[in-house]
Amino acid sequence: MNYQRAWEFLDKLQFFKIKLGLDSMRIFLDRLGRPDRRLRFIHLAGTNGKGSVGAMLHAILSAAGFRVGFYTSPHLSSVRERFRIGDEYISEDDFAFHSGEIIAAMGAERITYFEFTTALALLWFAARDVDIVILETGLGGRLDATNVITPELSLITNVAMDHEAYLGNTITSVATEKAGIIKPGVPVISGVEDPEAAAVVAGSCCQRRAPLFRLGREFTFTVEADGWGFQGRDRHYDHLPLALAGRHQRRNAALALAALDALDGTGIRVCEEDIRRGLAGVRWPGRLEFFSLAGPLCGIRAGDRRQVLVDGAHNPAGAAALAHALANGYRRQRLIVVWAAMADKDMASTLGRITPLAGVIFLTRPESERSACTDALAASIAGFSGEVHCEDDVAAALTAAFVTAGPDDLVLIAGSLYLVGRAREIMLGGLV
């Protein structure tokens, strides 16, 4: 088995539809020797912010000297980005080796893409003997393939409407799925603010006798002129740095610090210097990621530059956070938007948060069977008074946007992490 063959095998699994349930995952892990039982976990769920919280925890714990595994999804450019220890992504050789183990264990059975990558992550982290794993759910929580583990701590970032076809069409049903990661006696960090969803989380914790620590009650954060502050059970910090932009990232950082606070008695302990170094150096590409792009590239002439902001906002809550950031920063003459979305998303509500700020919108479609067609996206913003252009090819859409934009304009690329990944690959190339 080599990397190319392993990647091609995995890629074909995308044609198998999403499957919710834990029985097949447990049976499959039994065949692999239950690598999860040799690991310690922080388990993350939530509608938005899982990756950002995970990236901050990873940065701080790594700064403290721990060997930290980080499993996240989706990837932007390469599937290898889903598997990380410290500054290292899984190598092509390790990817191929562990894929071979999984394929041998599968036999004639079928598993999903996400089940395959979850098993691969557990095998790699166990083989590398990491100190702790930050494990991010893929969809929901209760029936997510990652929910076969018993963690040191569970963390739910927030609950908002998303993936209604799988999680239900009420906030209570979505919260019930997210709260499914709560285990008996395992502490829970919650950033859930919606009253109905918060009641579901609190009820689940009470039923399972899981200690609950809530943002705004057991811990808080403040926004300061020169940083931000955190107040937890035993920790109080002022003037904290944060390399990630946006007020919502300070909220996410508070969840990460509350998690570290709750882990104090488990042997996973960090000092203030580790926290400051980790927060100052954390990177999470594709989330309010700003850079200046120089030509010649994508229609930008040699010697010219374009200001670019990429963000993975893909649901109404994520788009609201993006709109807030745009309204409170990123000076520009015009906002030129390149947008795509998955067909199962609330296209009108999500893009509708951005249209009041936009001057020109280019709608496109990354290579994915789930991507919404540009005509459907255009129909969702029929009331928009500015220019709307449809271009199925992402590279062509980027070129058109950069040609339209001037040096004082801002080009926003958002609406789908698949679009963000493809756009970054075109503009920057390589792994993130």
- Interatomic CA distance for residues 427 and 7, integer angstroms: 23
User: Residue 283's pLDDT is what?
Assistant: 94
- What pLDDT, on a 0 to 100 scale, did the predictor assign at position 321? 92
How many Å is the Cα radius of gyration of the chain? 21
Q: Give the least confident one: 72-76, 157-161, 323-327, 355-359.
A: 157-161
260-280 pLDDT, tens digit each: 999 988 999 999 999 999 999
Whether pLDDT at 335 is above 90: yes
pLDDT tens readout for residues 233-243: 888 999 999 99
- Sorting pLDDT into bands at 50, 70 and 90, what band is 24? confident
The DSSP element (H or E) to which 71 belongs, if any, is: strand 68-71
Residue 166 — pLDDT band, cuts 50, 70, 90?
A: low
Q: Is the pLDDT of residue 201 over 60?
A: yes
What are the sequence ranges of the domains in the chain? 3-281, 289-427
Query: What's the pLDDT score for residue 18?
Result: 61
Is residue 314 pLDDT above 60, yes or no?
yes
Q: Whose CA is closest to 198, among 181, 219, 179?
A: 179
CA separation for the pair 310, 421 (Å, rounded): 10
Contact (CB, 8 A) for 341 and 351? yes
Contact 369, 342 (CB under 8 A): no
Structural class in CATH, domain 289-427: alpha beta
Residue 161 confidence (pLDDT) above 90: no
pLDDT confidence tier of residue 164, bands split at 50, 70 and 90? low
Query: Does residue 304 carry a pLDDT above 60?
Result: yes
Pairwise CA distance, residues 119 & 146, whole Å: 9
Yes or no: say if 354 and 414 are a contact pair by the CB < 8 Å rule.
Answer: yes
Helix-, strand-, coil-residue percentages of the chain, each rounded to 5: 45, 20, 40
Please check whether residue 409 is in contact with residue 333, taking contact to mean a CB–CB distance below 8 angstroms: yes
Terminal Cα-to-Cα distance of the chain (whole angstroms): 25
Per-residue confidence at 84, pLDDT binned at 50, 70, 90?
Answer: very high
Q: How far apart are CA 328 and CA 4, in angstroms?
A: 45
Q: Where are the alpha helices (DSSP H) in 49-143?
A: 50-63, 92-106, 113-127
> What does each C-alpha distance from 337 to 149, 264, 357, 405, 409 come to in angstroms?
41, 44, 9, 10, 10
**Do the beta carbons of residue 160 and residue 47 sit within 8 Å?**
yes
| Phi, psi for residue 154 in degrees, rounded to 5 | -110, 145
Q: Residue 215's beta-bridge partner residues?
A: 219
Burial 247-275 (b: 16+ CB within 10 A, else e): ebbbbbbbbbbbbbbbbeeeebebeeebb
How does DSSP assign 179-242, residue by residue?
Answer: GGG--TT--EEE---SHHHHHHHHHHHHHTT--EEEBTTTBEEEEETTEEEEE-SS-EEEEE--
pLDDT greater than 60 at residue 230: yes
Average pLDDT of the segment spanning 126-135:
98
Name the CATH superfamily for 3-281: Mur-like, catalytic domain (3.40.1190.10)
Which residue reads 């990647």 in tokens? 7
